[in-house]
């Protein structure tokens, strides 16, 4: 947390590009790790964005 008790708003982005994703590469795992980093840096997550590239390829 910053020393002056101010917070920065941030948005998170996570993506997967294939059908097979290991646990460490899943969108949920990516967002969880990024939320932890944001919390340690005194940031407030206001939105997260995800992209599944395999879904785009099927359209």
In a domain, 44, yes or no: yes
Of 24, 25, 46, give the one whose Cα is nearest residue 35. Answer: 46
In a domain, 3, yes or no: no
pLDDT tier, 57 (very low <50, low <70, confident <90, very high otherwise): low
Q: Which of the 8 DSSP states describes residue 10? A: E
pTM over 0.85: no
41: which 2 tokens? Answer: 């840096």
| Total number of domains in the chain | 1
In a domain, 2, yes or no: no
pLDDT in tens, 4-48: 677 899 999 998 876 656 556 788 889 999 999 999 999 999 999
In a domain, 18, yes or no: yes
In a domain, 17, yes or no: yes
In a domain, 13, yes or no: yes
In a domain, 1, yes or no: no
In a domain, 29, yes or no: yes
For residues 35 and 16, what is the distance between their CA atoms, to the nearest angstrom? Answer: 17
User: For residue 15, what pLDDT is reported?
Assistant: 86
> How many beta carbons lie within 10 A of that of residue 13, not counting itself?
12
Full domain range(s) for residue 35: 8-58
């Amino acid at each position: 947390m910053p020393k002056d008790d101010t917070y920065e708003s941030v948005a998170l982005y996570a993506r997967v590009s294939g059908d097979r994703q290991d646990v460490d590469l899943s969108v949920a795992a990516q967002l969880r790790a990024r939320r932890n980093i944001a919390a340690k840096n005194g940031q407030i997550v206001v939105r997260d964005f995800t992209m599944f590239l395999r879904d785009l390829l099927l359209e």
